[in-house]
Amino acid sequence: MIEVQKLSKFYGQRKAIDEISFTVEKGEVLGFLGPNGAGKTTTMKILTCFMPASSGTARVAGFDVFEQPLEVKRRVGYLPETPPVYNDMIVADFLAFKAALHGIKGPDAKKAVGSALENCGLSQVGKRLIGNLSKGYQQRVGIAQAIVHNPQVLILDEPTIGLDPKQIIEIRGLIKSLAGERTVVLSTHILPEVQTTCSRVLIINEGKIVASNTLEAISAQLRKGNVISLLVKNNVTGLMGKLRSVNGVANVTEEPADGGAAARFVVTAANGGEIRDAVSEIAVTSGAGLLEIKRESLSLEEVFLKLTTVEPSGSQAGEPSGGAL
């Protein structure tokens, strides 16, 4: 549904996005994840034909954004970073105006506005002035204008930015309910957002795509070595050394344990090798009393930090930034 190839954009001398390429399949909900200034908004502005790229191509719903912008615009609903709403307009009138821009008029417009209001939970405020609504409701109006013409593709730029936690949950629910048949791209710099709403993520940093997959796969990809946590009843002498000597183990650290356990060992495998059976065997045969063995799943936050934190210059080459990895 969306095909982007080697897209670059310069603002004067500054390169905001650098030869990025990706595709989005029909019906997918893609999370476009990256810190502030990564180039998310820039990419979205190009996909929605707000502005042209400096080089590269992008096709949306089969049409080139540069060659056939009107065809693309007809099929795309876009919520910019700041909801583009007129404060001095009434909600329903505003949606009717947006529908009219898409050539939807008369009874069709009435129907389109009615269902956009309903789908976005705005039926109660249809007659209110947009300027008098809360920020959460203004955001809903912003989403309503993006779907009023029933587009195939929905592009949402940081749809929950600046909302309070309750509003955030509501807007995420709304986005999920709107996805359905549509192809959705939503950008965010907040991790839990992609966790709760997206089927796939694209991680962008400093104008470059650094990862593109499901969240689980990205986490796994990052787990350079498997990290295993081992809980034992007795911290028998020499256990640490024995664990270290297991073939394929890169590092072992001891951590204080809670409850009845004596110790927790965090064992890191070299090169992501499978070490669980060897490690558990040592724990059993040494008489330490194996209470628990599990794989540490990296929290998404860590993944994210890993992906976007630049090594401070001066740190040793080859040393991964996250010690826990």
Ligand X SMILES: Nc1ncnc2c1ncn2[C@@H]1O[C@H](COP(=O)(O)OP(=O)(O)O)[C@@H](O)[C@H]1O
Total count of residues recorded for the chain: 325
Q: Binding to Mg ion by residue 226, rule CB under 5 A?
A: no
Q: Binding to ligand X by residue 159, rule CB under 6 A?
A: no
Look at residue 195 and give its three-state secondary structure: helix
Look at residue 258 and give its three-state secondary structure: coil
- Mark out the alpha helices in 120-164 (DSSP H runs): 135-147
Q: Which is nearer to other proteins, 157 or 170 (CB)?
A: 157
State the number of binding residues for ligand X (CB under 6 A).
11
Q: Binding to other proteins by residue 8, rule CB under 8 A?
A: no
Rounded to a whole number of angstroms, the minimum distance from the CB of residue 4 to ligand X is 14
Amino acid identity at 266:
V
Which range in 10-18, 213-221, 223-231, 317-325 contacts ligand X by CB under 6 A? Answer: 10-18
Q: Binding to ligand X by residue 237, rule CB under 6 A?
A: no
- Cα separation, 112 vs 95, in Å, equals 9
- Cα separation, 109 vs 101, in Å, equals 11
Q: DSSP secondary-structure letter at 129?
A: B
Query: Contact, 122 vs 153, CB < 8 A?
Result: no
Q: Which is nearer to other proteins, 102 or 242 (CB)?
A: 102
Query: Contact, 35 vs 206, CB < 8 A?
Result: no
Query: Contact, 153 vs 42, CB < 8 A?
Result: no
Which range in 75-83, 190-198, 200-208, 309-317 contacts other proteins by CB under 8 A? Answer: 75-83
Nearest-CA neighbor of 266 among 293, 306, 301? 293
Q: Binding to Mg ion by residue 41, rule CB under 5 A?
A: yes
- Cα separation, 40 vs 189, in Å, equals 9
| Interacting positions 289-318 with other proteins (CB under 8 A) | none
Q: How far is CA 271 from CA 6, 197, 210, 227, 309, in A?
A: 32, 32, 20, 11, 22
| Options 5, 55, 82, 123; binder of other proteins; rule CB under 8 A | 82
- Cα separation, 238 vs 225, in Å, equals 24
| Options 8, 41, 139, 268; binder of ligand X; rule CB under 6 A | 41
| Options 37, 55, 62, 87; binder of other proteins; rule CB under 8 A | 87
Q: Binding to other proteins by residue 48, rule CB under 8 A?
A: yes
Rounded to a whole number of angstroms, the minimum distance from the CB of residue 105 to ligand X is 34
Q: Enumerate binding residues for other proteins (CB under 8 A).
A: 11, 45, 48-52, 70, 73-74, 76, 78, 80-89, 97-98, 100-103, 145
Q: Enumerate binding residues for Mg ion (CB under 5 A).
A: 40-41
Q: Enumerate binding residues for ligand X (CB under 6 A).
A: 11, 14, 16, 34, 36-42
